[in-house]
Amino acid sequence: MRSGLSRPTVGLVLSTLASAGLVTVGKARQGSGGGRPSPVVEPTDQHLVATVYVDVTGVEVALCGLGGRILAVAATNSSVRDPEWVVGEAARLLDRLLVPFNGISRVLRVVAVVPGRVKSDEGLVVNAPHLQWQRVALATALAEATGLPSELAHDGHAGALAEWRWGTGRETNDLIYLYAGPGGVGAGIISAGSLLRGSHELAGRLAHVAVSDDGPLCYCGAHGCLTTHLSAAALDAAIGGNGVERSAASLAERMADLGADHPVMQRLAAQLTRGLRTVVAVFDPDVIVLAGALTGFLNVAGTRVAGALAHTNLDVARDAVRVVEPTLGSQQLHIGASDIGFASLLEDPSPTIATADGS
Ligand SMILES: [Zn+2]
């Protein structure tokens, strides 16, 4: 992977990571393309990040190693949404996951992924409508329950980071990630090699792009937002369910049963495309990743979506934008969250790691 950093800078970074126990640096090996030999760098499992994914279906906790690696996952399915219960359950699952790692690995940080608006510098969930949470100090509660520094991430941001760094977007610096899950639609935008956050951490909230003029009233106060038509629950209701089906695989299967020419699928694909056209016009991405329940469109109406994107006056959209499914599977949000956690550690690894080691 190219870092864009000079050799001395890379050497300095590697020695910092190695002294923090996050990587081992092996003997230099000659690369296939000639040139100077490069050291072999391997992540260690000495220090880990724990990630917590909260959604309306329950709580999931993962132990993650540097480099987008998931080492273990445990989940509790429940419709209970009380923050206190969620935090207690996350701490219990983490304790259980750590048993086989006792004496081998140490968790240094917790990152919770939430389907809603967060203020990451305050560790605050400002609003997670599907969880019915308003101003929940989740990071503080998690830190108290686990004894570990904790932080928060918006689900769309975690997904975008994961697919960009470790998934289908590794070769690009401009990626749009759109995810339809139990907690609505989450999105993230990687532009010129950076995650867009905006002034209020609201950048990339594509859930609230208007895709119909007289659509349902959204919790944000507007009508016809993308999330009112294309959340997992909205998709389920649109294709004949009772609006409670959450499984992306099951929704994709039922969308396939209807087929691309069914009027409902045509309407839904048109609404998705209307949102995507706006996004392409504003951000000019290389790749659009449709994740969660939205992968159903790629199997059924992928050609229709890609074809409709071509009906713009932007030549590049016609020729170059790839609309694809994620390659990281169901753990993509944990992978992105672990990247956020390791980035926080790497900003200043020594104090945190020294404290964790009791030295
Ligand atoms: Zn809205």
pLDDT in tens, 229-270: 999 889 999 998 877 767 888 888 888 888 888 899 889 988
Distance (angstroms) between ligand 1 centre and the Cα of 187 equals 13
Q: Which residues pair with 75 in a beta bridge?
A: 60
Distance (angstroms) between ligand 1 centre and the Cα of 184 equals 10
Tell me which of 247 and 334 has the higher pLDDT.
334
Mean pLDDT lowest among 15-29, 199-213, 328-342: 15-29
Q: Are 150 and 175 part of one and the same domain?
A: no
Q: Are 258 and 321 part of one and the same domain?
A: yes
Q: Are 211 and 122 part of one and the same domain?
A: no
Tell me which residue range forms the domain holding 61: 47-155+332-356
Residue 38: strand, helix, or coil: strand
Alpha carbon distance 190, 349 (integer Å): 25
Distance (angstroms) between ligand 1 centre and the Cα of 359 equals 49
Distance (angstroms) between ligand 1 centre and the Cα of 356 equals 42
Distance (angstroms) between ligand 1 centre and the Cα of 214 equals 13
Q: Are 323 and 191 part of one and the same domain?
A: yes
Residue 309 is predicted with a pLDDT of: 67
pLDDT in tens, 56-105: 889 999 999 988 999 999 999 988 789 999 999 999 999 999 999 988 88
Answer whether residue 55 is part of any domain: yes
Q: Are the beta carbons of 334 and 53 closer than 8 angstroms? A: yes
Distance (angstroms) between ligand 1 centre and the Cα of 179 equals 15
**pTM for this predicted structure:** 0.86
Distance (angstroms) between ligand 1 centre and the Cα of 80 equals 25
Residue 128 is predicted with a pLDDT of: 92
Residue 358 has pLDDT above 50, yes or no: no
Residue 330 is predicted with a pLDDT of: 81
The neighbour count for residue 353, using CB atoms within 10 Å, is 19
Six-digit token pair at 229?
Answer: 């038509």
Answer whether residue 105 is part of any domain: yes
Answer whether residue 11 is part of any domain: no
Answer positive or negative: Cα dihedral of 339, 344, 350, 351.
Answer: negative
Q: Are 312 and 248 part of one and the same domain?
A: yes
Distance (angstroms) between ligand 1 centre and the Cα of 102 equals 45
Distance (angstroms) between ligand 1 centre and the Cα of 300 equals 26
Q: Are 112 and 248 part of one and the same domain?
A: no
Answer whether residue 337 is part of any domain: yes
Distance (angstroms) between ligand 1 centre and the Cα of 107 equals 37
Quote the Cα angle for 125-127-130, to 5°: 110
Alpha-helical runs (H) found in the chain: 7-19, 83-98, 138-146, 155-165, 226-230, 232-238, 248-258, 263-283, 295-309, 315-319, 332-347, 349-356
Domain count for the chain: 2
What are the distances in angstroms from CA 323 to CA 6, 134, 155, 299, 302?
34, 34, 20, 11, 8
Q: Are 176 and 148 part of one and the same domain?
A: no
Distance (angstroms) between ligand 1 centre and the Cα of 216 equals 10
Tell me which of 224 and 19 has the higher pLDDT.
224
CATH number of the domain that residue 120 is part of? 3.30.420.40
Q: Are 194 and 234 part of one and the same domain?
A: yes
Mean pLDDT lowest among 41-50, 113-122, 150-159, 317-326: 317-326
Distance (angstroms) between ligand 1 centre and the Cα of 210 equals 8
Alpha carbon distance 175, 332 (integer Å): 15
Residue 349 has pLDDT above 90, yes or no: no
Distance (angstroms) between ligand 1 centre and the Cα of 131 equals 16
Q: Are 124 and 234 part of one and the same domain?
A: no
Distance (angstroms) between ligand 1 centre and the Cα of 225 equals 5
